[in-house]
Structure 1
Amino acid sequence: MRVAFDLRPAFKKNSRRRGIGTYTLQLFKALIEAGRDTDLNLIGYGCGKDAPRLPEGRYEYRSLFQLSKPSRLSWLPDRFLLPRQLAKDSAQIFHANDITSIAFGAGVKTVVTVHDLIPLVFAEQMKQSIPWDYALALREGFRRIRRVDLVVTDSVYSKSDVCRLLQIAPDKVTVVYPGCDSRFAPVDPESAKRRIADEFGINQPFLFYVGGTDFRKNLLCLVDAFANLRRAGYEGLLLMAGETFHWNIEEVRQIRQRIAGHGIEPFIRFPGFVGEDLLVDLYSACEMFVFPSLYEGFGLPVLEAMSCGALVLTTRVSSIPEVSGDAAVYFDPEDPGSLVRSFCELKADPVRQKELREQGKRRAATFTWNQAANQLLALYDSLL
């Protein structure tokens, strides 16, 4: 079984440090391991010079053509060049990990993973912010997806969106839950706090968020809630990590303006992008991990936080309850006061804290990349 697996989301600047990049690389690693004693012949399709650290194992690798200037129009050369590459590699299955990268080849079965449909779910809010080249790529992807042999989604919620918004038959869509890298595991909180103090000069308790800054992440609600907590006497900090917090973009300017309006600039830190080792320390040492999102295709940070034994405050929306189950405390994403009340109630209940930490670790352990890879291998087999 020869499978061409599109690794490019793990290479491209706009996705490699986001959930889609993590998903793509971790699933590829798991497929290599799961296919070790099978007839799987895996071919990884990458691009450009900024390659992530690729795993060792039995697979072939191809560096595909890339436009000289990064663009969302890469689907145009893909349309002509990818079928030739698939034929050259005698591929039987092509697995695209981005709806904008769907390609077809003669005699080749096509699989695509759809992580979410944010541009359709929030079409009105995003119509002014989506670049024209990305809008074209999405339109082409939405047209082409109707011809694929199998659609994979990260959650039941995403599957329902795909079926409803793209008119795809439910029997053509399968849920394959992501896993969590084994490096996300509890570490001694005191040791983690010392490393964080060395790295950031922080010795106070802190609430932690990691992720993007787009409007669906609902960070203005988090800022408002934190301001209310400070006014109520909370003496800790808020750490908001992620690469885009250091970008000069409108959504970040709005967040910083809201912070300034509350006068809480000294109590909020922006560490930017953090590597996995430091991320594990932040999850392990934080007082609580807060994830106020309005919409997720899965919600990988919630899974990572639970794996590290963090207390999780999040919202009961989209796919998030599929990830956290009963191992999180939920609040109303439209009401900063609800977040404040959830925090205060949990902070005052150490017994509940201990229960949630243990529940979270048990819950997170049910999501594994090995399980995802084996499920996917069975799906590949079913197509041939």
Structure 2
Amino acid sequence: MLPEPRGPVHVVQLVHHCPDGTEASEISVPTEPYLLTVALNRGRKNIEVVLEALRQMQADGKPVPQLVIAGAHRKRLRRYASRPAFRDIQDKLIFIDNPNQTDLVKLYKGALALVMPSKLEGWGLPAGEALWCGTPAICSTAEALQEVCEDLALYFEPDDASRLAQIIEKLATDITFQHELQKRINEARPTLRTWNTVARETLSSIQALR
């Protein structure tokens, strides 16, 4: 709740910057093509639509990439993923609990794409970090994610598992499309936001309020 009367509001966007870690690596990156999710859960984070998209691909006889689910250990999510409805894709699911920064960067850089299906986000840091690492982002049409990625991401409505499946299949099978998207992301990297950018804009906003 903002106080009344409200003063001017200055919005400072957050970052894309994903720094390399200083810790030793503790994991091996999958050798087969994989999608990456970071800090997803059920509900607002909407991992349900990702699992459903992969289930549909499997049912339609399409090649299904592995899915790396990186983040905190969540029993409720693992119980959901073990449901009989997802039996045919459970061998595609790889849970990596609490990866350190070194391994998180490795996962970003090795992924076919990051999937960010959230119904609502304040900023969507993993999407920005993926772009920083040169990795495509497949995002829901949540406004914050469109602000983070602009025209560098591939978008789908957050409840449209069929459309997400189509995007995954095209990215996995159309090498020309994949390379063109990665090229566009790499060319845009100098425009992506760093913490220095955030600090300068924050300071400028504070000075403007004086």
State the SS of the aligned residue for 1:361. helix
Over the matched positions of the two proteins, sequence identity in percent amounts to 27
RMSD: 2.6
In structure 2, the partner of 1:236 is 65
1:374 has 2:189 as partner: no
In structure 2, the partner of 1:225 is 53
The CA deviation at 1:216 is 0.9
Cα distance in 1 for residues equivalent to 2:42 and 2:12: 26
Change (3 A) 1:221 1:254: farther
Indicate which of 338, 352, 356 corresponds to 2:163.
Answer: 338
State the SS of the aligned residue for 1:199. coil
Cα distance in 2 for residues equivalent to 1:365 and 1:212: 28
The CA deviation at 1:182 is 5.3
In structure 2, the partner of 1:116 is none
1:304 has 2:129 as partner: yes
Q: Are the aligned partners of 2:18 and 2:129 in contact in 1 as well (CA < 8 Å)?
A: no
Change (3 A) 1:206 1:354: same
Matched residue count = 205
State the SS of the aligned residue for 2:31. coil
Q: Deviations over 1:100-126 (max 9, x none)?
A: xxxxxxxxxxxxxxxxxxxxxxxxxxx
In structure 2, the partner of 1:324 is 149
In structure 1, the partner of 2:39 is 211
Q: TM-score, normalised by structure 1?
A: 0.49
State the SS of the aligned residue for 1:146. coil
Deviates more, 1:286-295 or 1:200-209: 200-209
The CA deviation at 1:257 is 4.1
Point out 4+ residue stretches in structure 1 off by more than 6 angstroms.
Answer: none
Cα distance in 2 for residues equivalent to 1:303 and 1:283: 11
In structure 2, the partner of 1:40 is none
In structure 2, the partner of 1:50 is none
Q: Give the 5 Å matches for 1:126-275.
A: 142=1, 145-146=2-3, 172-181=8-17, 183=19, 199-200=27-28, 202-231=30-59, 232-243=61-72, 246-248=73-75, 250=76, 252=77, 255-258=80-83, 260-263=84-87, 264-275=89-100
The CA deviation at 1:200 is 4.0
In structure 2, the partner of 1:154 is none
Change (3 A) 1:371 1:201: closer
Cα distance in 1 for residues equivalent to 2:124 and 2:29: 29
Q: Are the aligned partners of 1:297 and 1:318 in contact in 2 as well (CA < 8 Å)?
A: no
Cα distance in 1 for residues equivalent to 2:142 and 2:190: 22
Cα distance in 2 for residues equivalent to 1:225 and 1:350: 21
Q: Are the aligned partners of 1:242 and 1:273 in contact in 2 as well (CA < 8 Å)?
A: yes
Q: Deviations over 1:146-170 (max 9, x none)?
A: 16xxxxxxxxxxxxxxxxxxxx85x
Amino acid paired to 1:295: L
The CA deviation at 1:276 is 1.4
Unaligned runs of 5+ in 1: 1-141, 148-167, 185-194
1:292 has 2:117 as partner: yes
The CA deviation at 1:362 is 4.0
Change (3 A) 1:265 1:348: closer
Q: Are the aligned partners of 1:296 and 1:320 in contact in 2 as well (CA < 8 Å)?
A: yes
Indicate which of 172, 184, 192 corresponds to 1:359.
Answer: 184
Q: TM-score, normalised by structure 2?
A: 0.85
Amino acid paired to 1:351: T
State the SS of the aligned residue for 1:269. strand
Change (3 A) 1:365 1:215: farther
Higher RCO, Cα 8 Å, sep 6+: 2
The CA deviation at 1:291 is 1.1
